[in-house]
Amino acid sequence: MSARTIRIGRANVGLIGLERAMAEVAAEAGPGGLPPREAARRLLDRLTARNYVPDTAREEYLAALADLWRREHGEPAPEPASALTIRILGKDCVSCNRLEEMVRLVLDRWGVAADLDHVRDLDEIWRYGVFKTPALVVDGKVVCAGRLPPQAEVEGWLREAVAAARGGPAST
């Protein structure tokens, strides 16, 4: 089962079979390709067999899939809206779970919304270039790997990321 994520509003949504559907639609399209909106419609038709897509969000899914199609085929596509993204990398060990708990506590205390995910799949973890866990990834940058950092250090990294997202100095 392959899963891949797309951005729907402020959330990353995993879609089972997205990579396979992309390959199938590209093969059907042939050398001339397909317009992004038509490709998105075909992708969504395939994906709804194994993924729940609310009727109220169908247009958002089509737009996100069309943007993904554009990016995958070298066409200009709008960049997804910037939001603070945080990934905790590691299996369900005590240190990995403690790091996630620490990050959630800090975000909750500050009242900051973030796209937070605990990545447990080793293949996904290795794609970040990380071989020791726990690891913390903030806005795509590995800030710590192989140790459980103190809370003050985690707060510092998150403070910098929040400030960068807001375009101002680090103060939270």
Query: What global pTM score does this model have?
Result: 0.54
Domains of the chain are 3-72 (no CATH), 85-166 (3.40.30.10)
pLDDT of residue 115: 82
Q: 83-99: per-residue pLDDT in tens?
A: 688 999 999 899 999 99
pLDDT of residue 168: 59
Q: 17-69: per-residue pLDDT in tens?
A: 999 999 999 999 887 788 999 999 999 999 999 998 888 889 989 999 998 89
Secondary structure (DSSP) of 18-86: HHHHHHHHHHHH-TT---HHHHHHHHHHHHTTTS---GGGHHHHHHHHHHHHHHHTT---PPPPP--EE
Which tokens belong to 61? 């899914």
Q: What are phi and psi of 119, to 5 degrees?
A: -90, 120
